[in-house]
Amino acid sequence: SLILAVLAILAVCGLAVVIPAMRWSPAIIVSALIFLVWICIAAFFRDPDRKVPVNLSVVLSPADGTVNDIELIKGETANSEKLKELFQGRDMLRIGIFLSVFNVHLNRAPVKMKVAFREYKEGAFHDARDGRASRENESMLVGAEGVCCDDIRFPLAVKQISGAIARRIVCPVKEGDLFGQGERYGMIKFGSRTELYLPAGMKFELAVTVGQTVTAGITPLAHIYPAAVEKIRQTQIVDAAAASEKEETPPV
């Protein structure tokens, strides 16, 4: 828990004050430091059990942390060709979440989803709150087909981004993998950033604001209402008709 992480930091600070005043042997000092390092690591990599409120009309947070930004991303400006293809060049709503070293660093599926692709990118290690982090830092992008109420499908993506401290992204997923809402799927070690991409055309009703604290698999980021579902259905009908027309058009 967060309490464990805070206690570990306080213990380290306490030892920094106490050790110089105590005439302990080097062996005791080394043992104490090793023990404290172990406590800190256990706190950083904790994996608390959570009762996920499964609700297909809600998009849950994929990470613990603080909402750092909410932005509309133009389809043509996306810095990934696979992301553009997934959203068919349409605009996206991006919700950026900053994870400090005190947060749980496991990522969870925001909705029931099927993985369409994963794309790793080498990059820099700017502070995760830096505006350059989204485009320039090392990252792992997972594109997926989400499922909401009435079995309506829609595109979504989750991006794990390394920070100045975090330099290890764990994401053992592959194309075709299925995840239930709130299910664990990856991790970013220590401080980092997670981004959720949703189709802007769905007109989700946001449930969070910038600066709000969120919990992976628990906090709703957006609500999907019947009007949004109907928007997806109509888009799918148009896309299917366009694809059919393209197939039927003979080559010139």
- Residue of 61, 139, 192, 244 with catalytic role: 192
pLDDT in tens, 92-122: 999 999 998 888 889 999 999 999 999 999 9
Task: Indicate whether 40 and 82 sit together in one domain.
Answer: no
Pair (119, 172) in one structural domain = yes
How many domains are contained in the chain?
2
Same domain, 81 and 187: yes
Q: Are residues 67 and 147 in the same domain?
A: yes
Residue 151 vs residue 221, higher pLDDT:
221
Q: Is residue 228 part of a domain?
A: yes
Best CA proximity match to 155, nearest among 187, 191, 118, 199: 199
Is 57 known to be catalytic?
A: no
Give a yes or no: residue 51 inside a domain.
no
* Whether residue 38 is found in the same domain as residue 78: no
DSSP letter for each residue of 42-80: HHHT----------TTEEE-SSSEEEEEEEEE-GGG-S-
136: domain CATH number?
Answer: 2.70.70
Checking if the pLDDT of 168 tops 50, the result is yes
Domain identity same for 31 and 139: no
Q: Cα separations (Å) of 32 from 21, 45, 220, 226?
A: 15, 20, 41, 58
Pair 10, 87 in one domain: no
DSSP of 10-24: HHHHHHHHHHHHS--
Residue 101 and residue 74 share a domain: yes
Residues 80 and 165 in one domain: yes
Lowest average pLDDT, out of 205-209, 212-216, 243-247, goes to 243-247
- Structural domain for 163, as ranges: 58-236
Q: How far is CA 163 from CA 14, 133, 142, 192, in A?
A: 28, 7, 18, 5
Same domain membership, residue 197 and residue 113: yes
94 and 135 belong to one structural domain: yes
